Amino acid sequence: MAFRQGAYPLMLIGKETAYGTEQTTPENKFADICTMQAITNSIDRAVKTQTYEPDFCETTAGTTGGTVSVSGTLSHGHAIFLEAFFSDDSSPHAFQVDPNTFQSYTIYNLFNGGEVSTKTNWKGDIAIGCVCESFNITGSQGGVIGYEATFRAKSIAREQDLSGLTTTTITDASKPCYIPFKFQSVTADMLNSTVTSINSFSISLGNEFADDTVAYQNSATKLREIAVKASGELAFDVIYDAAVALTYNPILMATTNLDDVITLSGGSGTFIITMYGKYTSYDIADPDKGVYVTSINKQLQANASGSAISIAVS
């Protein structure tokens, strides 16, 4: 039996030169959680089975694809995920004006970590043609900043021989150890500079892609991925302050596009996240005991002030 153990997985990611062309020199290595799900869609056949129970001939295999999810602790070294989501190699990262040239990536789940130094029996799962569908950043008091990225894949192959990889990032058996962003090091400038201390925050970003008619046409595998819409939301909790409470309600769905800025610092650099848009809700929790906490939500929207979101990496 060839059981797999989760104690030493390595996840590799590299930008492709063309959609669905495997990148065999992925120079980004992470010890983060990576899950891959291959998908074969089902097609109903126009067959009368005359039976009460489902019959084998009622369905047949259709188009194929897959999904990839990567999650872990966010650090300055994870900037490639910003490049993947925004399809933009240059900082500051923002939603694309022309999303038709969306970048794709090859993602590897590498097994047999103890044998990495000799390239012996390298095996792993490969996902090609990966475009980033969502990217979320979260943080709360007392912890590190976390992230989750999901990808749409053209295809996923299991247990492949990876001994031919020429990447230099995995020539030793050491796990990468990036210095994480910590919540205690977060700098916040929120609600038109009325709030600088927050309890927690979450940023949810999404890319919507053209439907299967465009992606597949008359093919069993995807021919392309075209982004058609981007979206984003910000949510954060603060301690309720009666002195500034009267400033909250007027900003809901206000005509002024106010910015919120969250700066993540740690290791060798920073992410400065600037977000524009409309505040959509403002709720006060009524605790059994303790202080009141306010939850505020914002829909990210662009205007003359700038993009809906901008993330500067330095």
Which of the two residues, 187 and 7, has the higher pLDDT score?
A: 187
Give the pLDDT confidence of 211-250 residue by residue, as tens digits. 989 998 999 999 999 999 999 999 999 998 877 777 777 7
Burial 228-255 (b: 16+ CB within 10 A, else e): eebebbbbbbbeeeeeeeeebeebeeee
Give the pLDDT confidence of 251-294 residue by residue, as tens digits. 777 777 888 999 999 878 999 999 999 998 888 777 777 888 88
Give the pLDDT confidence of 161-174 residue by residue, as tens digits. 877 776 655 655 56
115 contact partners, CB below 8 Å, separation of at least 6: 121, 122, 173
Q: Report, as an integer, the average pLDDT of 93-104.
A: 83
Residue 27 has pLDDT above 50, yes or no: yes
Look at residue 1 in the predicted model and tell me its pLDDT.
45
pTM of the model: 0.90
Give the pLDDT confidence of 76-85 residue by residue, as tens digits. 999 999 999 9
Q: Which of 178, 167, 150, 62 is nearest to 110 (CA)?
A: 167
Domain borders along the chain are: 10-313
Look at residue 118 in the predicted model and tell me its pLDDT.
55
Residue pair 299/278 in contact (Cβ under 8 Å)? The answer is yes
Confidence at 198, pLDDT banded by 50, 70, 90: very high
Look at residue 85 in the predicted model and tell me its pLDDT.
96
Look at residue 139 in the predicted model and tell me its pLDDT.
96
Look at residue 80 in the predicted model and tell me its pLDDT.
96
Look at residue 195 in the predicted model and tell me its pLDDT.
87
**Cα separation of 73 and 70, whole Å?**
10
Greatest mean pLDDT among 144-153, 253-262, 293-302 = 144-153
Angle at CA of residue 45, ends 42 and 46, nearest 5°: 155
Q: Report, as an integer, the average pLDDT of 192-218.
A: 92
**Cα separation of 271 and 79, whole Å?**
9
The strand pairing partners of 131, in sequence order, are 152
3-state per-residue secondary structure call for 22-36: CCCCCCEEECCEEEE
Look at residue 49 in the predicted model and tell me its pLDDT.
65
Give the pLDDT confidence of 107-134 residue by residue, as tens digits. 998 876 545 555 556 788 999 999 999 9
